[in-house]
Structure 1
C-alpha cells in the first residue's frame, strides 16, 4: 500500500478474494457459446481467443517468476544483493489483477470491433511506430510526474516498496495508476482498431511484448548479452536491461524510461552508473555457500509450494488445494521429466550473520523414497554431497527422507564411502531431540511412544528415562532395542504395555488413525518425525514437527518450509546452520549424537527461538 493511499487505490474486486476470477465467467461463457453456435463467417475469433490468451499471459508471467527465482537462488549475476521478505510477497500477490482488467476491457471492446483479421502488416507497423513515439514519450513524462511527492506518496510508492524486484513487481500498482497505464498502452490498439488496421497478431502480440519487457526489466539478474550491443550499438538507446531499470528502484530519480532508454538520454535523467552496473552484473560476483540443506519435494502438489513454484502458495504453509488437482497433468509431467533428466537443484538462498546458506532439492518425491529405487536416490544424495564438497561448503544437513535409516543409515553410508570428506554431514537429530524434550509439558510423569521409532525418537526416549519420566511402548522389538541402550538404573522407566492411558504421546511416522481415535480427549500428539501426523481428532492438540523460529536478521526468507509457519525452520535445517556457526568439526550422522544441552544452548545463542514453551 502507498504511504498515503489516494483515491481509487483499491482494486474494484479486491474484496472478492479468490472469487475475483468469476467476473470474467459471463464473458467467457458468452464468447464460447457464440463461437460454437454461429456459422464460420459470423464467428468472432478475436473474442473467442481472449480467454486462452489471458491464460497464456498468466503462464508467461509464471515462467518468468520461476526462472527469476531459480536464477537469483543460484546465479552469481544478481544485480541487487539483498533479500526479499514475506511482506513483499503479500504486497505483490495481486499481480494478476491487471490480467483481469485487460480481459474485461478486451471483451467490451471486441463487441464494437468484430471481424478483426488474423494478420495485417500495416496495423503491426502502426502499432510499433505508436509505441516508439507517443507511448514511450508520454510514459516517460507520466513516470516523472508520479515521482512528484504528492503522487508518489499516494500511488507510485507502492510499486517502489520493492527495492529488490521480481518480474511481477512490474505490474503491482494501485488501481488508479494501473488504469492510466492501461489507457496509455491502449493508444496503439485503439488507433489500429479505429483505422480498421488491427489484427489478432497486432493486438495480442503487442500485449505479449509489454509483458515480456516488463518481466525482463524487473528480474534481479542480468540476462541481456553484451555481444548484442557490440553488434548493434544503437540498441543501447532502444532496449533497456534489468540492471538499467534496477537503478530506478534503488536510486529513484534516474532511468525513468519505459523500455527505451533514449528518452533518459535526451532529457538527461540516465544514471551515470548504468554502464558500470551492467558490466558488473554480467561479470557476476562469486559467493561461496557455507551451509547446504538437502531436501526433496513431498507430494505431487508440493512443487507448487516450492519457492520456485507459485509465490503466493510458497509463502504459506503447505496445505492441499482443490484447484491444484486440475493441474495434475503438469504435476505428473514434471515428475517424469525430473525422473528422466533431473539432478539436484537449488531451491533458495538465505543469509545469517554473513553465513551463506542454500537449500538444494533431490528431484524425487516422498513416495519414490519408499519404492525399490533406493540405489538411485542414494546416488543423487551422494552426488549432492560431493558437489557441495567441491564448492567449499562447510556443512550439509540432511532433510526429510534423505537421512532414512533404511536408506543410508542416517547418512553414515556416505562417510563410509568417502572417509576423507571435509564437509561435515549433519542429520540434525540432536537438536530435534532437544526440541521434543522441551515440547513436553512440565510435570509430565509418563509419555507414550507410538509410530515408527527413528533415531530421534530413540534418543528422546532414552533422555526421558534418564530424567525419570516413564516411557511406554507397545512394540516388543522397539522395547528390546531401547532396553539394551539404557543403563541399569534407568531401565525401570521403560515399560512395555498396550495401554493408552497417557495424555502425552510422542509420535513418529506411521501413527495409525485407529490409535488416535482410541486416545483420551485432550491428548497431546508431539511428533519426533520430520513429517506431521494426519490430524484425526479435533479434541486433541497436535504439535508441529520439531522446529524453531528463525532470527529476525536472517535474510531472504520468503517461503515456508513445507507445512511450517512463516519464518520457522525445521530442527534438521537449523542444526546445519548452528553446526556451521559454531564451527564444530564432527559429523552428526549414523549412530552419533552430539550433546543435547550444548546444541540447544548454541541454537538459542544464535537467535533461534522455541515455538512452544512447555
Structure 2
C-alpha cells in the first residue's frame, strides 16, 4: 500500500503532461449544468409553440435519462451510507474521508459527456428520434452485443489502462479513492469516459442500426448499466453467499461488490466489467474472490465502538445533513440551502417512520489511534424535547441507547445538547440512578464545554453578563469566573436559585456574583455569555462592540452588525483522526461540539467515573489540560 501511495504522488505530478486527462468544463465548476441549457430551451420552446412535448422529442428523453441516471447513483450513495442498515456487510471498514469526497465531487461529469454524444448522434441520424416504444427483439440483440463485444472490449481496455504508462498518466485517478463508493464508479479521466462511451454505445447503437431499437431499450440499458456499476462500487456486499452456491453459474455472470473490491487491493486481478467469466477465461480471477464474498455476506456482527456520541436532529432541515441523504452536503457545515426545501416533506415522513420504530441509528464514525468512535442519533427534533408529553418517550430512547452501548461493550457514551437537558433527565443522572451497575460510562461533556467557553473570554475582562445563569453550564461558568475575581451579572428571576449558587462560591468571592432581572442591567457590559435564546429586542440592550459567547441550542441569530457572535463551544479533533467525512451540524470539518470532545477526552484518559448532573468546577482546568494533551485544539 505504501508503494501504491508513492506511485499516486508521482502520478499527480505527471497529471499536466497527459492529454485528455482533465474535463473540458472543469473550470466551470457548478456552472457546468448550464451546458444542459440548449436541451432545456428546446423542450420549453416545444411546450410554448406546440403546447406539448411530443413522444419523439429526443431532447426530452436525453434530459429525463440523465436525471434518472443521476437518481440511480444518488440512491446507491444513500444506501452505501446507511451504516445502520449495512454496517455488518461493509467490505472496507474505513470511512470515506473529506479528500475523497472533494475529489469525487464532480462525479457526474460523465453524464454531460454522454449527453453531448447522444445529442450529436440524434442530429447526425434523425431516424434515432423515431424509435418505437418497445421491441422484445432489441433486448435479446442488445444482450448479445453487450456480452459478446462490450464485455471483452472493456476487459482488454481495462487491462491496457493498467499498463505502466497509461496507469501513471490516467487510471491512477480512479484508484486514488481509498474506499469504494457508488460515485467512485464514475471518478475517472476524460479519456477513460470517452472509451466508456464506446463500450456502452456498441450494444445500444448496434441494436438500433440492426433495426430492433426502442425507447424502453435505451432507458433500460443505461439505467441497468449504471445500477450494476454502482453495485460493484458500493462497498457493501448485497448478495447472500447461498445464492452463488445454489446457482454456481451466477459466479460467471454477475460481479458482486466484494469481487470488484479485490481489483482495488490487488490491481492485477478481476478486470471484468460485470461478468467474471472473462477473468476466468483469461486467468485473471483473484483466487480469494468467492471466499471473501462468503465471509462478508455471512457476517452477523460488526466491531463494537469504543466511544459513542449520542446526537439528535435540531429540525427537519438539519436532518437532511445526514451522510445518507447527500454525501457532499454532509461534508460541509450545515446551512439551509434552497435545494433542501423540496426534500422537506420526504424528510419529515422518514422521521415519522423513525419515531415509530423508536430506535437510535448509526450516523457516522471515525478512527483515532486504532479505536473506533461512532455517532448515534436519537430520531427526535429539537422542539420535541420541550413537549411535556414527549419526555417519557425521549428518555426511553436515550436509555435504550445507553443499555445497548453497555451490552456491546462501549466504554464511554457522551450525550449531545438536548439529550442531557436538566429538565429531561437531570443531565443524565436519571439513567445512572436507575442502572447503578452500568459498565459504560455516561458523560454529558459539559465540563469541557465550560472550559472552552471560559478560555474564549479574554484574560483582562472584569465583568460579564450571563443568561441561563442557573443552568448546569451557567452555574459552573459563574462560579469559575467568581474565583477569578470577575464580576458576573447573573440574569435570573429566581432569588432562591441565585442564592444557592452564590453560597457555593468561596466566601471572599461571593460578592462577584450579582443577580440581575433585566437585560438593561448589561447595557454597559461588552461580554455576554448566552445560555438562553435571545430575541432581537433583547440583543438590542448590548452596547456596540459586544461579543456574544454562547452555549444555547440552536445558536442565536446574529441581528447586530456592530457586535460579534461566537459559535457553539467546539474543539478541533487531533490530526491523526481517520475516516472522518461528515461535518457535525454547523461545525467546520474536523471540528466537534465541546460535549462530544468532552466524552472523547473522558475515554482517552480512561476515567472510570460517570460525568452527569452538576459540573465539578474543580475539574474544569483538569479536563481542559487533558484535552490539549491528547491533541484536541481550541478554535
Q: TM-score, normalised by structure 2?
A: 0.91
**Alpha-carbon distance between aligned partners in 1 of 2:207 and 2:44, rounded to the nearest angstrom:** 25
**Alpha-carbon distance between aligned partners in 1 of 2:177 and 2:432, rounded to the nearest angstrom:** 44
Is 1:591 the counterpart of 2:614? The answer is yes
Number of the residue aligned with 2:39: 27
Superposed displacement of residue 409, structure 1: 1.3
Number of the residue aligned with 2:535: 512
Is 1:528 the counterpart of 2:551? The answer is yes
Superposed displacement of residue 504, structure 1: 1.8
**Alpha-carbon distance between aligned partners in 2 of 1:589 and 1:235, rounded to the nearest angstrom:** 55
Task: Check conservation: 1:8, 1:174, Cα contact below 8 A.
Answer: yes
1:228 to 243, 250, 255: 243
Counterparts in 2 of 1:168-207, with a 5 A limit? 168-207=183-222
**Alpha-carbon distance between aligned partners in 2 of 1:11 and 1:560, rounded to the nearest angstrom:** 29
Number of the residue aligned with 1:149: 164
Number of the residue aligned with 2:307: 291
**Alpha-carbon distance between aligned partners in 2 of 1:453 and 1:159, rounded to the nearest angstrom:** 56
Q: Deviations over 1:465-503 (max 9, x none)?
A: 111111113333264453243232111111234132122
Number of the residue aligned with 2:634: 610
Distance 1:129 1:410, change over 3 A: same
1:490 to 486, 509, 522: 509
Is 1:86 the counterpart of 2:98? The answer is yes
Task: Check conservation: 2:314, 2:554, Cα contact below 8 A.
Answer: no
Number of the residue aligned with 2:472: 455
Is 1:341 the counterpart of 2:357? The answer is yes
Is 1:389 the counterpart of 2:396? The answer is no
Counterparts in 2 of 1:532-543, with a 5 A limit? 532-543=555-566
Number of the residue aligned with 2:175: 160
Number of the residue aligned with 2:3: none
Is 1:472 the counterpart of 2:489? The answer is yes
Number of the residue aligned with 1:430: 447
Superposed displacement of residue 588, structure 1: 1.0
Is 1:354 the counterpart of 2:370? The answer is yes
Is 1:564 the counterpart of 2:587? The answer is yes
Distance 1:146 1:83, change over 3 A: same
Counterparts in 2 of 1:547-562, with a 5 A limit? 547-562=570-585
Number of the residue aligned with 2:525: 502
Number of the residue aligned with 1:322: 338
Segments of structure 2 that go 5 or more residues without pairing to the other structure are: 1-7
- Residue 75 of structure 1 aligns to a residue whose secondary structure is helix
Superposed displacement of residue 397, structure 1: 0.6
**Alpha-carbon distance between aligned partners in 2 of 1:243 and 1:292, rounded to the nearest angstrom:** 29
**Alpha-carbon distance between aligned partners in 2 of 1:123 and 1:40, rounded to the nearest angstrom:** 29
Superposed displacement of residue 553, structure 1: 1.5
Is 1:77 the counterpart of 2:89? The answer is yes
Is 1:307 the counterpart of 2:326? The answer is no
- Residue 518 of structure 1 aligns to a residue whose secondary structure is coil
- Residue 508 of structure 2 aligns to a residue whose secondary structure is helix
Distance 1:118 1:453, change over 3 A: farther
- Residue 557 of structure 2 aligns to a residue whose secondary structure is coil
Distance 1:452 1:92, change over 3 A: farther
Q: Deviations over 1:372-418 (max 9, x none)?
A: 42222122111111121221212111002111111111111222322
Is 1:212 the counterpart of 2:235? The answer is no
Is 1:11 the counterpart of 2:23? The answer is yes
Is 1:416 the counterpart of 2:428? The answer is no
Distance 1:208 1:43, change over 3 A: closer
Distance 1:179 1:537, change over 3 A: farther
Is 1:402 the counterpart of 2:414? The answer is no
- Residue 457 of structure 1 aligns to a residue whose secondary structure is helix
Distance 1:423 1:7, change over 3 A: same
Superposed displacement of residue 79, structure 1: 1.8
Distance 1:100 1:538, change over 3 A: farther
Superposed displacement of residue 84, structure 1: 2.4
Superposed displacement of residue 592, structure 1: 4.9
Is 1:272 the counterpart of 2:284? The answer is no
**Alpha-carbon distance between aligned partners in 2 of 1:348 and 1:265, rounded to the nearest angstrom:** 38
Distance 1:136 1:342, change over 3 A: farther
**Alpha-carbon distance between aligned partners in 2 of 1:40 and 1:358, rounded to the nearest angstrom:** 52
**Alpha-carbon distance between aligned partners in 2 of 1:501 and 1:135, rounded to the nearest angstrom:** 76
Distance 1:29 1:528, change over 3 A: same
Q: Deviations over 1:423-472 (max 9, x none)?
A: 21110011111111111112222212135753112211110111111111
Is 1:439 the counterpart of 2:462? The answer is no
Distance 1:171 1:506, change over 3 A: same
RMSD after superposition = 2.3
Superposed displacement of residue 608, structure 1: 1.2
Distance 1:320 1:296, change over 3 A: same
Number of the residue aligned with 1:132: 147
Distance 1:89 1:491, change over 3 A: same
Q: TM-score, normalised by structure 1?
A: 0.94
Distance 1:271 1:43, change over 3 A: closer
**Alpha-carbon distance between aligned partners in 1 of 2:553 and 2:372, rounded to the nearest angstrom:** 24
**Alpha-carbon distance between aligned partners in 2 of 1:509 and 1:62, rounded to the nearest angstrom:** 39
Number of the residue aligned with 2:257: 242
**Alpha-carbon distance between aligned partners in 2 of 1:73 and 1:439, rounded to the nearest angstrom:** 41
**Alpha-carbon distance between aligned partners in 2 of 1:492 and 1:104, rounded to the nearest angstrom:** 76
